[in-house]
Amino acid sequence: MSEPITEKKEAGPPEPAPEPTSADNADTPAAETPAEKKREYKDFGHGDEEKNTHAKVDMSQIELKAEDLYDKEKVDLETLVMEDVFKLLQCGEDGLDPAEAARRLELFGPNKLEHEEQNPFLQFLSFMWNPLSWVMEAAALVAIALSNGGGMPPDWEDFVGIVLLLLVNSSIGFYEERGAGNAVKALMDSLAPKARVKRSGAWSEIESADLVPGDMVAFKIGDIVPADVRLTEAINVSIDQAALTGESLPQSKKVGDQCFSGSTCKQGEAEGVVISTGPNTFFGRAAKLVGQDDDTTGHLQKILAQIGSFCLVSIGLFVVLEIVILYPKYHYSYRRGLNDILVLLIGGIPIAMPTVLSVTLAVGAQQLAKHKAIVTRITAIEELAGVTILCSDKTGTLTTNKLTIDSNLVKTYGPFSAADVMLLAAYASRTENQDAIDACVVGAIPDPAKAREGIKLLDFKPFNPVDKRTEITYREESTGKLKRVTKGMTGIIVEHCTRNKTEEIENRLEADVEEFAARGLRALAVAYEELDGQDPAAEGNGFELIGLLAIFDPPRADTKQTIDDAIALGVKVKMVTGDQLAIAKETGRRLGLGDHMYPAKVLKDGPPVGGKHMSLDEMILDADGFAGVFPEHKYEIVKRLQGLGHLCAMTGDGANDAPALSRANVGIAVEGATDAARGAADIVLTEPGLSTIVHAIRGSRVIFQRMRNYSIYACSVTIRIVVCFAILAFAYQFDFPPFMILIIALLNDGTIMTLSVDRVLPSMTPDAWDLAEIFAFAVAYGIWLTLSTIALFMVLWHTEFFENHFHVDGYHDDVNNNHIHMILYLQVAIISQALIFVTRSHGFFFMERPSIALMVAFGIAQLISSIIAAYANWYFTDVEAISGGWIGIVWVWNIMWYIPLDYIKFAMKATVVKWLRERRERRIVDDRGEPLQRTQSRAASIHESLYSNRVSFIRRAVRTVGFGQGRTVRMSQNELQRFSSLQAQHAGATLARNPSRV
């Protein structure tokens, strides 16, 4: 009973129809002479229309199986004949009755996107859920709870200091993240708030959230389509769905066509039946993909986790050694051993690292804002520095999203010049209430006012989907003659041309149209005739084809330079557009981007057999771009590139870009982007063009260098504190006061905050965290600084060198003399802070001038350290002031040990670091001998589990305490990746399982 189903085209904009061939001409009936043959001019974008089909099931059996409804080859609500749609959805043209509508609302849920608000308190607590915070919390616990023994009170001083640092760090992170936009909320706000619906034969206005599959709805010019709809009536309907599909022009719609939820009616009025609502619509799927991954741990958080792991291992090793050595061998009391352990916990972990990096990123965000780039996710700055691939939407991003006539490609077929053809085409265009075509034609002439200058308008026929042309009849004021001009689709215009319709002209026209189509240009034909007499309704002397215009969406003026600059910075640019393949290739050629592009269907079908690509991943990596893509495709491309180890950035401006913007390591919303795109993006550009991206990349690399310099410094200090004081405890039972370690940490980190404005040069290649290099430098510097402290202590304790040569007091009575504590405090504080000048430079530290802020902060910190050493008699923490002579000795000692640090750096680069880089290069060379850059991305790693995704932590807590309960609609990942609107069939499947009781 069912008709055979035709092959369903790939979801997305139609591909250009195939070019006519000689074989096509050979099929012309013999009885038809060449002059009578009707040519089919393949105007780009006007290919064969998709035919509606029947379902491959017995429609008399309404209770279809779920597996049948989800089989795209059997049932597709987008393309079924309308009779089958009504049967499947169990509805009629009079609409549903209120009781059935209420029942379906319970089944399908409201026609809106569910949004789960995060609890602010839990979100704040989540910033204390990482390895660095764990050690801080453990140290605070030791100070307040475990230190109460040996006749001594709890260590309140250390406890308060640690808790303050923890709260400051969490507050900064909470403040930065809380201010970020919410993508799903923006998508929700884009839906139509009201809808006109017919129920029980009567029209009424209801909240769009109350629509259900099977409802009959109506909309007109200016309305937002409230749900996914199949049209049952359409009067001159034109729908703007650029923000959803990326198509440049509004699309004409007829009876049986589908209109997407969230698109805008630009012309006409229509009625239709709702086939999908809420998260099951095309629009809803885009929202569902935004932030879909459970893994939202940022790249910087993962790096912090790995650095935290390094510090944890270092601390843990020496804490265990202290426990197994100090207590059994030296019989330390409980409280004395605990104080030594507290020194390692406080001094070993870079407790302010998240705060320092947050401040560095915050200052960087302010600097980027000067270049009109607003950062909504602060850690995206660090990821932007390492981006290796930039995927960019075309429409409105690489191009202006404003159609333009290419004046260099105007074809003429009559006595008129190219300029005359463009002027006459402007005559045949509206000057008010223009559609996109009329606007670009009028805008193409030097002075738009000339579109009505020197003529008197007598009659005008605007474009409509039936005639597919415009026509003007006018009187030329200079001669008084009546003339007529028409413009429109090539095939339609040629049918009206009788004066110069020759075989030669038609062959030329056909070749020109095919040339335009191959280049992704729309062809617009123009014809002209004169009228005898003064009757504007009279027949003319016959239209004459005078020209063919090429219409395209031009690239932005600065886009080519931006792409060139990005490539020079080592960033590969790929175009990912919803427009047709030929248009994408033409845009790629004009931008110097390349035209090695593929249609979206290859993402489903894979590379062709026998081609040069062995896998889909290889094809995606090699391609210059993809065309005809929908949100799922963009999302999949970004995800696969990340799976290959690349940090991926994505630019876009529409709701169709939101899923990929959310998935990308760095999502960039261009100027004029929709709220949905801005909400999903990490960086929002506030001025036209992409040149800001290049500034942002350079700026992010400057920020990255600052963070890398600090990371080396912080890890070095960890090694020097842990190893130094553990060795002194093992060898001499030396007990350094924990509070003084906290003072060192406060002064050091206060100084290091100024790294956020330090002078550094950006790299010309994408940055990557090479933690092996960082840890290698840290160990080398840390060991050297450890030796400097131990050597000072040994000379001070075992000899009288300083007393004899500098006439200072000696301290040989007790290894834990309070003055010795102060001497070692000053030595550690000074040389530890000075280390930053070595880690921030590539050559000698004095050859690269630091920022004034860093120098001033360093000077103030050293002054404070020296004042503390000279005057602080803090008996509660076992330190006493030392003389000026000892302060001078410590300064000279540190200078002597500081000078070799640069040579250690050079030696490390020439040996260990060189070996590490060579080993890495050997590992990233694939089997074909071609280097393939692989960087840390969102792929799972053992270290990121330590951060255990703060978002997942929040969700678990929400479920535990009962916050934020609400209805959600879930769908499997497999369904999302089938590259077509499978969710549209959910309506029929649900109704089949829950038939109406009436």
Which residues are catalytically annotated?
A: 393
| 540: exposed, middle or buried (Cβ count in 10 Å: 0-12, 13-18, 19+) | middle
Pairing of strands 228-240, 264-276: antiparallel
Whether the Cβ atoms of residue 549 and residue 425 lie closer than 8 Å to each other: yes
**Amino acid sitting at position 811:** Y
User: Quick check: 721 and 741 in contact, CB under 8 A?
Assistant: yes
To 5 degrees, how large is the angle CA 981–CA 986–CA 989?
Answer: 135
Contact yes or no for 15/581 (Cβ under 8 A): yes
CA angle 394, 398, 399 (to 5 degrees): 85
649: nearest Cα among 289, 381, 401, 396: 381
Strand partners for 218: 196, 271
Backbone angles phi, psi at 549, to 5 degrees: -105, 145
Count CB-CB contacts under 10 A for residue 14. Answer: 17
Length of the chain: 998
DSSP string, 78-91: TTB-HHHHHHHHT-
Query: Where are any strands of DSSP class E within 532-680?
Result: 544-552, 572-576, 597-599, 625-627, 648-652, 666-669
The token pair that represents 594 in the structure block:
């390349």
- Taking the C-alpha atoms of residue 645 and residue 207, their distance in angstroms, rounded to an integer, is 46
CA–CA gap between residue 53 and residue 427 (Å, rounded): 42
Question: Cα–Cα distances in Å, from 987 out to 77, 112, 228, 566, 982?
Answer: 9, 15, 11, 46, 10
Helices 900-910 and 771-798, axial angle in degrees (round to 10): 140
Q: How many angstroms separate the CA atoms of 279 and 393, rounded?
A: 24
Q: What tokens appear for 495 in the block? A: 């049918």
Only one residue has tokens 């944890």, namely 312
Q: φ and ψ at 353, to 5 degrees?
A: -55, -50
Is residue 916 within 8 A of residue 902, CB to CB? The reply is: no
Using alpha carbons, select from 253, 226, 215, 232 the residue that is nearest to residue 83. Answer: 232
By CB atoms closer than 10 A (0-12, 13-18, 19+), residue 24 is exposed
Whole-angstrom Cα distance, residue 17 to residue 892? 82
CB 453: neighbour CB atoms within 10 A?
Answer: 12
- Chain position carrying tokens 């979801």: 11
Is-contact 784 897, C-beta < 8 A? yes
Written as one string, the DSSP assignment of 356-399 is HHHHHHHHHHHHHHTTTEEESSTTHHHHHHT--EEEE-IIIIIB
Q: Are 574 and 625 in contact (CB under 8 A)?
A: yes
The answer to whether residues 82 and 272 touch, using CB atoms and an 8 Å cutoff, is: no
Backbone angles phi, psi at 234, to 5 degrees: -150, 120
Distance CA(641)–CA(38), nearest Å, equals 48
Give dist(CA 918, CA 901) in Å, integer.
Answer: 24
- Report how far apart, in Å, the C-alpha atoms of 729 and of each of 311, 322, 736, 739, 815 are: 20, 8, 9, 17, 10
CB under 8 Å to 32, separation ≥6 — which residues? none
